[in-house]
Homo-oligomer: A and B are copies of this chain.
Amino acid sequence: MNNRILANAIRFLSIDAVNKANSGHPGAPMGMADIATILWREFLKHNPKNPNWFNRDRFVLSNGHGSMLLYSLLHLSGYKLSIEDIKNFRQINSLTPGHPECDITDGVETTTGPLGQGLANAVGMAIAEKNLAGEYNKVGHELIDHHTYVFAGDGCLMEGVSHEACSLAGTLKLNKLIMFYDMNSISIDGNINGWFTEDVPGRFKSYGWNVIKNVNGHDFVNIRNAIKSAKHEKSKPTIICCKTVIGYGSPKYQGTNAAHGAPIGPDEADIVRKRLGWKNKPFIIPQEIYKSWDATVKGVKLEGHWDKKLEKYKKLYKKDYQELRRRIKNQVPSRVISSLDKCMLKNHKPMATRKSSQVVMTSFGQNMPELIGGSADLKGSNLSYYDDMSIFSPNNPAGKYIHYGVREFGMSAISNGIHLHGAMRPFASTFLIFSEYTKNAIRMSSLMKLPIIYIFTHDSIGLGEDGPTHQAVEQISSLRLVPDLDVWRPADTQETAAAWKHALLNQGRPSAFALTRQTLNELPKTKTQSTNMNKGGYIIYGKSNSPDGIILASGSEVSLAVKAAQELGDKKLDIRVVSMPCQELFDRQPASYKNKCIPKDFDNILAVEAAKGDSWYKYIGKKGSMITVETFGLSGTGNDVMKHFGFTVNNVKKEIKKLINKNR
């Protein structure tokens, strides 16, 4: 069947769904329908009957507002997405939300909408593919062998994250990454000539990409040849620059920003119908069009071929096969868990918790090949690697450590993509303050329920001389605000091991660690304390059931609090200290346990944390008090700065005594 007709099926599903919802973005689907038709029907290796087939090509719609393009493709190809679902576009609890969400709709590879990040996700997927191929493929047994295709528009390419991800993709020679750049010259504010005049092909050439210029995005032969050529590329990612018309087919809106983000309305839809020769009513797709689009038979066959390959592989490389299978199922090896359990009990010497994290990683890293990640150019500072961790590079595609360069946002969005690919457990690291450079990618990890591990070191004013630009103050509380993110601020190596264990066992939520630059003492723990450490918060000091006061603390402030409590104990003041390495995990405990640590209606509660204190109000109530950092930090030695802000044993003693007197 004529490709134009097949593409028009996408156009009209999109027009009609947006019209029905009275909300949405018809312009991109209308403009990119022709490209999508060629790619999906002639090249994309996928199986609508099994959206999770491991060796499928990945497809990312980075310009996620064009969601109806993707929903149309899924519906037409035979995925579990009915015409009723299409009619429910943008309605509450539908399978067709305003932007594509990968945990809602089968066949959606990643949640997109925040511009540029889909592109970075695709880079991550291509890294995962290259890494797995490097590790598991054998000569004649290319088990992992697929492409990652991504659609991106001008909006994506204006975003800084596109620079970070694409520059790195060039360095890493991700030749199986193919981007379609939708050059429609329009963004929301109008024709881009007032704000986006860069020579995009030249820019990608400078990144070391294979650049295919001047493709007419409405010419099927042109598109087909470009994809063929891109697939032949052996050492570079490819950008196919496709000139398209936004809102293609609508005399009133095409080529203008009016086509971007609003329904074209039923009258204009009728005009487009006439113009494009589409005789079908809204949401009616003739059977022959469905038949031409149907990819289920081909898909089952493709997966079947691969299954046979897999069978052969299984026989020859049983151990590799089993390991890959385990990884695809996201099973954490039991030997990793037992290493972590040991770390949680061992009596470690004093060290910075960033170092603790490295000790912990080293205890299990070699046993967990799915652990992959790196740092944004702070390897020696973040210490987020284990001994002998090899470097991922074009010459060593099986390497596990990624030198991300100074690209925090790119790193995190790439990590999301690596995990989305499957069989991978990515981590990402930088200074805690620079979590701000990548804030929305962390949120996207949470929204997509991806258990990314964020290792943030240099977690407070305690880092010292680098000063306020580098000292985290409000970042811990800020991370605690992200729904479904576990934020750990461990007090010693044992708590750091607990953080790692929970992070690895978490399958549906990311974790962020806030780790010190400065050395911390190991806190001795009873067996009960070691157990309760796994509850996010626990009594680290004090045995009485009716203490005079309670100090809540995390990370570097726990030993300070314990020392203050000990000294006050000598003076007959009974102070309990609760170490709270993870508020979110503590909050998920039964009320009975929480009450044992922090009795309801107890007044004399002092929170001590070298950070902005907002996240402690819920525990201390209006009668409690805090020693926190409510302003920006200061440049000076770590000790001087800590002292300046009141983080001394004497000040903690003074404040808890003051509090007890006040509430007396």
A positions within 8 Å CB-CB of B: 21, 23-24, 64, 90-94, 97-99, 101, 111-116, 154-156, 158-164, 167-168, 170-171, 187-189, 192, 194-203, 205-208, 375, 377-381, 391, 393, 403-410, 433-434, 436-437, 439-440, 443-444, 446-447, 464-470, 473-474, 477-478, 480-484, 600-601, 612, 614-615, 617-618, 621-623, 630-632, 634-637, 640-641, 644
Contacts and interface: CB of A to CB of B under 8 A. Distances in A.
A30 B604 CA distance: 54
Contacts of A155: 377, 406
19 contacts: A90-B467, A92-B641, A93-B634, A99-B470, A155-B406, A159-B437, A160-B162, A160-B164, A170-B197, A188-B381, A198-B206, A199-B207, A205-B206, A444-B469, A447-B468, A447-B469, A474-B482, A614-B614, A617-B618
Contacts of A24: 465
A142 to B, nearest CB: 26
Contacts of A171: 194-198
A294 to B, nearest CB: 28
B160 A194 contact: no
A407 B196 CA distance: 10
B197 A466 contact: no
A182 to B, nearest CB: 14
A477 B466 contact: no
Copy count, this protein chain: 2
Nearest to A206: B202
A114 B435 CA distance: 11
A621 B405 CA distance: 45
Given A433-B114, A621-B622, A160 B470 contact: no
Contacts of A201: 206
B440 A99 contact: no
A393 B194 CA distance: 8
B469 A111 contact: yes
Contacts of A378: 188-189
Contacts of A199: 205-208
A377 B160 contact: no
A614 B198 CA distance: 43
B113 A470 contact: yes
A617 B623 CA distance: 12
A416 to B, nearest CB: 13
B168 A195 contact: yes
Nearest to A163: B163
A200 B167 CA distance: 10
Contact of A203 (B159, B207, B630): B207
B467 A101 contact: yes
In this complex, the member of A406, A480, A601, A622 whose beta carbon has the largest number of chain B beta carbons within 10 angstroms is A406
B478 A160 contact: no
Nearest to A643: B92
A170 B198 contact: yes
A115 B64 contact: no
A644 B618 CA distance: 25
